[in-house]
Amino acid sequence: MTIETENDPYELRDLTRRARVVLWDFDGPICRLFAGHSAEQVASDLVSWLEGRGLHGLLTEAERESLDPHVVLRAVDRRHPGSDLVAELEERLTQEELRAASSAWPTAYADPLIRTWTAVGARLAITTNNSPRVVRKYLAGRGLADCFAPHIYGRTQQLHHLKPDPHCLNRALSAMGAAPGDALMIGDTPSDHEAAGRAGVPFLGYARNGKKAKLLRVAGADVVLESLEPLLRLLHA
């Protein structure tokens, strides 16, 4: 059974029709940022960098083995919030993301969906845990920057504001003068779903495989798509 057959088509239509503002997560719904530049290797390199500075004991074994750069970054920030160490680690991650942006894979149907949604009058923003510098680089390379500018809200050095905290969503809503009920967030992780819920924004899940779809369903997402193509069809209709 596909994810699409589990969705209520009327619910998907209503989500789309109500959305005057669309808040996009970046890595997932728009592209696979680390498709050609392993996120696991980036996390391992960050751990090695910390160990090279004599900070092996700063991370738990689970954090070292997580293979998730954001887990490593958050862990260091919890123990040394606002420190120069966190700032340097965040910049190292940003540089790796910038390199990854050059080989990122566009998500199928994302580019035409973004352009179509813009053409029919919706206002778009990026709300992501990635660096906004990375988002701008990728969007410029795809000719999509004008569809979002200036509304790109990404990671800062205040790492406690990363999703599932709704900070970046609230920033977008405030800057665009939009009520939460007039917006829609498209995300691919349970933390996206939680952030949308805490901001009062309706949520649409995107999952590129069954495993990710299951995680979103378990987190409480009502509408989860394996492809953005149904959204594009709705907008064309």
The pTM of the full predicted model, rounded to 2 decimals, is 0.92
Residue 188: pLDDT over 70: yes
Q: Supply the pLDDT for residue 3.
A: 39
Average pLDDT of every residue of the chain:
93
95 confidence band (pLDDT: 50, 70, 90): very high
Residue 174: pLDDT over 70: yes
Residue 154: pLDDT over 90: yes
Q: Supply the pLDDT for residue 5.
A: 43
Q: Supply the pLDDT for residue 2.
A: 39
Q: Supply the pLDDT for residue 6.
A: 64
**What is the average pLDDT across 17-42?**
93
Place of tokens 């862990």: 75
Pairing of strands 203-206, 123-127: unpaired
Rounded Cα gap, residues 118 and 114, in angstroms: 6
Q: Supply the pLDDT for residue 57.
A: 86
Q: Supply the pLDDT for residue 66.
A: 87
Give per-residue pLDDT as tens, 33-58.
998 888 899 999 999 999 999 988 89
Residue 122: pLDDT over 80: yes
For residue 47, which amino acid is it?
V
Q: Supply the pLDDT for residue 82.
A: 87
Rounded Cα gap, residues 52 and 56, in angstroms: 8
1 confidence band (pLDDT: 50, 70, 90): very low
Residue 83: pLDDT over 80: yes
**Helix or strand holding residue 142 (H, E):** helix 132-142
In this structure, what token pair is assigned to residue 225? Answer: 């798509």
**What is the average pLDDT across 132-142?**
98
CA 155, distance to chain mean position in Å, is 10
Task: State the Cα angle at 109 between 212 and 19, rounded to 5°.
Answer: 80
CA 50, distance to chain mean position in Å, is 26
